[in-house]
Amino acid sequence: MTTYRWGIIGPGKIAHKFAQGLQSVPHAELHAVASSSVERARAFANEYGAPHFYGSYVELVTNPEIDIIYIATTNNLHYEHARLCLEHSKACVCEKPFTLNTPQLLELTTIAQRQQTFLMEALWTMFMPSVATVKHLIETRAIGQVTHAHIDFGFEVPYSAESRLFSPELGGGALLDIGLYPVFLALHLFGEPQTIQAHMHKTELGIDVDDTIDFEYAQSLNVHIEASFTRNLPCEAIITGTHGQIHMHRMWHCPCKISHINSEGTHDVSPQYSGNGYNYEIAEAQYCIANNLTQSSIMPHSFSILLMRYLDKIYTICS
């Protein structure tokens, strides 16, 4: 069985979680780390036992030993770094948000398809058994006809001009950082809405810090979404139908408890989880490469593009 040699671009906060997730996936090895700071790359490589580290990204993408690269730089750099990987025919898994807008993403997916190189958005929740469980419950009408969903994600973050969350240059904002999760869940579970309403509170620099979004569907389904850097929200997804409710409990975007509530009571329907949650996207990427696939059927390019189109639409409504 092949061992997949991973490289990481951008060894920051989330890259640590990813490297820990990698340790629990069979046939996965962290082989090299690249950073704009060779010291940061060295420290990260030492911590996780990676044999190579680089102070430039080009050295990583030109290393013939690397099978697949995970991009964990700030949002503004995803397009540039994914493009660098693709131009060197390196399979690539890129953190969310995939890019800053739809035109950038279309360029990447076009290159990937032309070159037949694997490319996937690392929207970790999509790969979790929790999302598959909830989708199955809805499709089998376990709660009847869905009439309402409330999905939120928010926490109070002290303002800091240096933080990537509040920086226009680094692609900050609540929608791209956390609001993307409820939007993806709504699109994945219910498809495209008929109408959207959205409101944003923005900083003086134009960064959205408090977002409310309503998706209206046919058959009287309303999905209410909140994302905030100014309020501590429950971070839950509550889906209500004519015959019950599905409750994805606090920190629903992580491996979470799931309850199915119907006339007979409350049932814990949480799936079995393994690893730290990042292992699912890693295993999926390796499965795709092992099977010569250029995209994932769980997170296909078409879904990433759909999601990005909706993020663009929401910003346009609120501009």
Ligand X SMILES: NC(=O)c1ccc[n+]([C@@H]2O[C@H](COP(=O)([O-])OP(=O)(O)OC[C@H]3O[C@@H](n4cnc5c(N)ncnc54)[C@H](OP(=O)(O)O)[C@@H]3O)[C@@H](O)[C@H]2O)c1
Using CB under 6 A, which of the segments 68-76, 110-118, 150-158, 291-299 binds ligand X? 68-76
CA distance 284 to 280: 6
Nearest CB to ligand X, comparing residues 166 and 217: 166
255-19-90-176 Cα dihedral, nearest 10 degrees: 50
Query: At closest approach, how far in Å is the CB of 30 from ligand X?
Result: 15
Residue 93 or 221: the one with the smaller Cβ distance to ligand X is 93
Verify binding: residue 74, ligand X, rule CB under 6 A: yes
**Cα–Cα nearest to 189, from 242, 240, 265:** 240
**Binding to ligand X by residue 13, rule CB under 6 A?**
yes
Record the tokens describing residue 44, joined without a space: 């990260």
Say what the alpha-carbon torsion angle 124, 129, 131, 135 is, to the nearest 10 degrees: 150
Q: Interface with ligand X includes 12 (CB under 6 A)?
A: yes
317 phi, psi to nearest 5 deg: -60, -35
Q: Which is nearer to ligand X, 34 or 225 (CB)?
A: 34
**172 near ligand X, judged by CB under 6 A:** no
- Which of 67, 95, 121, 211 lies at the binding interface for ligand X (CB under 6 A)? 95
Q: Establish if 164 lies at the interface with ligand X (CB under 6 A).
A: yes
- Binding of residue 73 to ligand X (CB under 6 A): yes
- The reply to whether 14 sits near ligand X by the rule CB under 6 A is yes
For residue 277, the minimal CB distance to ligand X (Å) is: 8
Rounded CA separation 156/163 (Å): 14
Determine whether 11 is exposed, middle or buried from the number of CB atoms within 10 Å of its CB (0-12, 13-18, 19+): buried
**Of 33 and 223, which has the nearer Cβ to ligand X?**
33
Out of 19, 45, 75, 244, the residue judged to bind ligand X by CB under 6 A? 75
At 271 the three-state DSSP class reads: coil
Residue 124 CA to residue 299 CA, distance in Å, equals 10
Which amino acid, residue 261?
Answer: I
Is residue 36 a contact point for ligand X (CB under 6 A)?
yes
Our CB check for ligand X shows the closer of 37 and 89 to be 37
**Which residue of 67, 177, 211, 226 would you call a contact of ligand X, by CB under 6 A?**
177
- Rounded distance, CA 238 to CA 183, Å? 14
Q: Which residue is nearest to ligand X (CB)?
A: 12
241 versus 277: smaller Cβ distance to ligand X: 277
37 binds ligand X (CB under 6 A): yes
CA distance 231 to 209: 9
By beta-carbon proximity to ligand X, the closer residue of 251 and 290 is: 251
For the sheet containing 265-268, what is the strand order?
A: 195-202, 208-217, 221-228, 146-154, 237-241, 244-248, 258-262, 265-268
Say how many residues touch ligand X, by CB under 6 A: 19
Kindly list the residues in this chain that would bind ligand X in the complex (CB under 6 A). 10-14, 35-37, 40, 72-75, 95-96, 124, 164, 170, 177
